[in-house]
Amino acid sequence: MSMKNERQTVEPTRSELEILQVLWKTGPATVRTVNDELLKQKEVNYSTTLKFMQLMAEKGLLKRDDSQMKHIYSVVEAEEKTKAHLLDKFVDTMYKGSAGKLVMQLLGDKTPSRKELQEIKDLLNKLEE
């Protein structure tokens, strides 16, 4: 099995997703920068963030540039690709592969704004073409 295929099957944990969210927002960053951003959301420890990011690099979720004094970490896969994979798995697991059932539950549980409704209508019209 090639490294690329292995990387596609790696699913981030909740804590790893929090780190990915920071890096998607900031772009490549040091552990200190990521930890400082995480501290705005919850209590985190620098050494724990460092350990997570090191493990994520080993798993192929992050890559580390250690060519300078400070190691810079960046995300390997694009945000959209990671989210699409996780959403597909969620839909398969929770809704037996039916995106329609997911959408119906989402629309039934929350009232979308007028703008969101228009965006949904536009998307549906586009899909019907």
**CB-CB contact of 65 with 28 (8 Å):** yes
pTM of the model: 0.72
Question: Domains of the chain (ranges plus CATH)?
Answer: 3-75 (1.10.10.10), 79-128 (no CATH)
- Angle, in degrees to the nearest 10, between helices 79-95 and 99-109: 90
Can you read off the two tokens belonging to residue 18? 């929090």
- Could you read off the pLDDT tens digit of each residue along the chain, which spans 129 residues? 344 444 456 789 999 999 999 999 999 999 999 999 999 999 999 999 999 999 999 999 999 998 888 899 999 998 999 988 889 988 898 888 888 888 888 888 778 888 988 888 888 888 888
